[in-house]
Amino acid sequence: MEGTESIRTSVRKPLDLLVQGRMRSRSVYVEVIDVSEGGCKIKGRHGFAEAGEAVVLKIDGVSTPLGKIVWVEDEYAGLKFEGKMHPAIVDFLYNVRLKSKESKSTGNAA
């Protein structure tokens, strides 16, 4: 994980969403901590991922580009997308998360 900050080229946006993905030809559920055009930080059970593994996630109905685990630290992992996620998609996912949090805090249905 060391040195990641210096090579990051896009802004991370917090998500904190539980999402479904595919790793090792099986379905997995991970929490997406944050997302950017170039990748995301995910959280799973300790030992759920290894560096170099391919991952595809579906965040709020949006499939991410194919990604590769670039670092693992305890239950956290960094995923670098092979392509870029469009900035409008990143903004959309972040805004959906904000609206969901606001409706939960006010007790309104989304």
Decide: 65 and 83 in contact? Cβ < 8 Å. yes
Identify the pLDDT of residue 24.
85
Averaged confidence pLDDT in the chain: 87
The answer to whether 77 and 93 have CB atoms below 8 angstroms apart is no
The CATH number of domain 4-105 is 2.102.10.10: no
Question: Tell me: the pLDDT tens digits for 2-15?
Answer: 444 445 568 899 99
* H helix runs in 51-86, sequence order: none
pLDDT tens-place string over residues 27-64: 999 999 999 999 999 999 988 999 999 999 998 888 89
Q: Where are the domains of the chain?
A: 4-105
Q: Considering only residues 105 and 32, tell me which one the structure prediction assigns the higher pLDDT.
A: 32
Tell me the pTM: 0.82
- How much is the pLDDT for 7? 58
Residue 47's φ and ψ, nearest 5 degrees, are 85, 10
Please report, rounded to a whole number, the percentage of residues in the chain having pLDDT higher than 90.
62
